Amino acid sequence: MAEIKVHSDVTGTAWKIVVSEGQTVEEGDELIIAEAMKMEIPHVAPESGIVKKICIEEGASISEDDLLFIIET
Amino acid sequence: MKKVLIANRGEIACRIIRTCKALGYSTVAVYSEADKSALHVKMADESHLIGPPPVNQSYLNSDIIIEKAILSGASLIHPGYGLLSENALFAQKVEAAGLLWVGPSSATIELMADKGKARSVAIEAGVPVLPGSLPIDPNNTPLLLESATNIGLPLLVKATGGGGGIGMQVAESLEDLPKIAKSVSSLAERTFGNNKIFLERYIANARHIEVQVFGLGNASVFHLLHRECSIQRRFQKIIEEAPAPNLPKGTERMMVQAACELAKSQHYAGAGTVEFVLDRNTNEFFFLEMNTRIQVEHPVTEMISNQDIVALQLSLSEKQDMNHLIDHDFEYNGHSLECRLYAEKPKRRFLPSPGPLTRFRLPVPTQNIRIDTGFKEGDIITPFYDPMIAKLVVAAANRDEAVKLMRTTLDQVEVEGITTNLEFLIEILDNADFLSGNINTRFIDTNIERLTSYQT
C-alpha cells in the first residue's frame, strides 16, 4: 500500500469536490474541479486507488501546491 | 458636469474613464473588496464599494450597481466588456431606472446572446452561416448522431448561451460526440445557467476575422473595417491585428457588407462586432456570432482609424446627431497589433497564475505604442477575475514594422512575482509562419512545442 498526495495546480477555490472519502477511483477520474480566474481546472487521480482523505472543504480558498487529497493505492 | 458610472474593473474601466475625462464627463467607479486600491478606483472622480470579491456578489450584482449610479447622480452606465455588458436584464433595469445605457437595446442583446437565434437572424439577413443543427437535448443520442452525420465531422459542440470562447468543444468522431455534448452542456449549465447546445461544422483550416460595426438605432450603420483574431488558445484570442494580413480585397468587401447588413436588419444601436470564420481553403466566410458591446481588441481599430470607439458610444447614448458618419469616408493608416499579457503558465496548459506583481514595468506610451492596463507595481492579481493584466498595442506603417515595434515593446516589459505569457508572445512574434501571415485558428495548438520551448 502506498499513499499518493494530490496537490493543487492553482490558487483559487475548491469549486466542486467530485468524490467522497472511501470511494474507489480509477486513474484519470476527476477528483475536484478547482476554479480560478473564471476557469474550471479539473484535477484527476494520478493512479487508481481509494480516496483516503479529503484535505479541503468545498468552496474553500486554496493555494497552489496545497494538499487536496490522499489516495491509497 | 454629467456623470458616467463604469460597471467594470481592470484595464477596460481605466480606458473608459480616460475617454470620459477627455470629453468632460465626471466618472464613477465601482469596486469589490479585492479592488480597493485598484487603478480604476484611483482614476475615477468618485468610487463606491459594491461587495465582496466574487463577481456574483459584486460586479454582477446589477441592483447594487444601479443603486450606486442613482446615489452618485450618474446619468449613464457604461458596462465595458464581459461581466454585465451582455446581460439584457441589466440593460433593461438601467433604462427602467431612468439612466442611459451605453449599448444596444436589451432586445438586441437578448437575441444575439442566444447563438441559435443569432444564427436565424444571420440567415434572414442573407449572411452565410455554417451548416449546423437546431438546439439539441444532449441526452438524445440518436438525434445527436443523426445531426452530426448530416453536418459532417469534425464539428463543434456549442452552448447556445456561450460566449467569450467558453462553452465550445471540437468533436472529431461520432463515438466521442455524446460525451462531449454532455460535458459542454453541463459546463454551460454551470456557467451560463442554460444547458442548451447545438452542433456546427468545424473548419480546421480557418481564420477568425471580425468586423467592427456601429449602428445608429435605425437602419443606418457604418463600419470601422475588420480585425484578424486567429491567434487563440482555448478559443480565446491573444494576438489581434488590423487589418488582416493577406486578405483578398473582394472577400474583405463582402464580409464588411454582410456585417453591416446584419446590423441594419436589427436596427442595431452602438458598437458591435460581427465575428466570422474564414475557410482558408475556399475563401468562403461564415457568421459565428455578434458581440453587442465594445470588444477587448478594439484598440487595434482605433489605432488605424484614429477613432475613439468609447467616445462614439457615448455620443449615441446621449442621442447626438451622428448621421454625418454614415457616408463618411474613414481613412485607415498603417497596421496595428495587440498582444494580451496574461497571468498564466503557457508551459503548463496555460493554467492561471495569480499572485503579487512585485515588479511591473511597462514601456512608455508614445503615438505608436499604447498600453492599456488596470494594474500597477505592488498590486495583487487575485484569482477572482480574468487573468489579463495588460494589452500592448502598437501601430506602424506596415505589418513588418508593426511586428518589429511590438517585439521591442515586449522586450521592455518587466514582470516579477507571477508567471506570465510574455516569453510565449515573443516566441509567436519570432515564428516564421506568423511573420508571413500564414496563420489559422490552430496556430498555437500546431506550434505549441516550439512556442513553449523558451528558457525560464
Domains of chain A: 3-72 (2.40.50.100)
Range in A36-40, B70-74, B243-247 with the lowest mean pLDDT? A36-40
Q: Given an 8 Å threshold on Cβ–Cβ distance, is B383 in contact with A10?
A: yes
Residue B107 clears pLDDT 80, i.e. is over it: yes
- Whether residue B292 is predicted with pLDDT greater than 80 in this model: the reply is yes
- Residue-wise pLDDT for B347-356, tens only, equals 999 999 999 9
Partners of B353 on chain A (C-beta within 8 Å) are: 10
Q: Is B59 on the interface with A (CB under 8 A)?
A: no
Whether B426 has a pLDDT exceeding 90, the answer reads yes
Pairing of strands A49-54, A67-72: antiparallel
pLDDT-based confidence at residue B119 (cuts at 50, 70, 90): very high
Q: Tell me which residue has cell 447626438.
A: B320
Q: Is B385 on the interface with A (CB under 8 A)?
A: yes
| Location of each CATH 3.40.50.20 domain in chain B | 3-102
Residues in chain A closer than 8 A to B343 (CB atoms) = 37
What is the reported pTM? 0.94
Range B19-39 average pLDDT = 98
Q: Do A12 and B354 touch (CB under 8 A)?
A: yes
Q: What is the mean pLDDT of residues B393-403?
A: 98
Count Cα neighbours of B234 within 13 Å in the Cβ-side half-sphere: 12
Q: What digits encode the pLDDT tens for the residues B48-75?
A: 999 999 999 999 999 999 999 999 999 9
* Cα B334 from Cα B339, distance rounded (Å): 17
- pLDDT above 90: percentage of residues in chain A: 92
| For testing contact with chain A, the best of B83, B179, B296, B351 (most A CBs within 10 A) | B351
Q: Give the pLDDT mean for B358-382.
A: 97
Mean pLDDT over all residues of chain B? 95
Evaluate whether B418 touches B344 at the Cβ level (below 8 Å): no
B385–A38: do the CB atoms touch at under 8 Å?
yes
B347 Cα distance to chain centroid: 24
Q: Give the model's pLDDT for residue B433.
A: 97
Q: Are A35 and A15 in contact (CB under 8 A)?
A: yes
- CATH H superfamily, domain B131-201: ATP-grasp fold, A domain (3.30.1490.20)
Note the pLDDT of residue B310.
Answer: 98
- Whether residue B163 is predicted with pLDDT greater than 80 in this model: the reply is no
Distance from CA of A27 to the nearest CA of B (A): 18
- B100, B159, B155, B163: which is closest to B135 by C-alpha? B159
Catalytic residue among B119, B280, B293, B399: B293
Say yes or no to pLDDT of B165 above 80.
no
Confidence of residue B191 (pLDDT cuts 50, 70, 90): confident
Say if B162 is an interface residue toward chain A (CB within 8 Å): no
pLDDT for the residue A9: 93
B206-451 in CATH: which number? 3.30.470.20
This complex has an ipTM of 0.85
Average pLDDT (B94-98) is 97
In this structure, which CATH number among 3.40.50.720, 3.40.50.20, 3.10.110.10, 3.30.750.200 belongs to the domain B3-102? 3.40.50.20
Nearest CA in chain A to B348: A9
Joined grid coordinates for residue A9: 495546480
Q: Which residues, numbered 3 to 32 in chain A, qualify as contacts with chain B under a Cβ-Cβ cut-off of 8 Å?
A: 9-13
Min Cα–Cα distance to chain B from A35, Å:
8
Closest CA to B120 of B391, B226, B111: B111
Query: Are the CB atoms for B48 and B67 separated by under 8 Å?
Result: no
- Chain B residue with CA closest to A59: the answer is B54
Q: How confident is the model at residue B240 (pLDDT cuts 50, 70, 90)?
A: very high
Q: Tens of pLDDT along B128-139? A: 999 999 999 999
Residue B293 falls in the annotated catalytic set: yes
Q: How far is B400 from chain A (nearest CA, A)?
A: 34
- pLDDT confidence of B231, banded at 50, 70, 90? very high
Cis check: omega of the bond before B131, within 30 degrees of 0: no
pLDDT value at B193 more than 90: no
Q: In chain B, pLDDT over 70 holds for what percent of residues?
A: 100
**Amino acid B5: pLDDT:** 98
Which residues of chain B are in CATH 3.30.470.20 domains? 206-451
Angle between helices B422-430 and B443-451 (to 10 degrees): 110
Distances (CA, A) of B103 to B200, B239, B265, B291: 29, 25, 17, 11
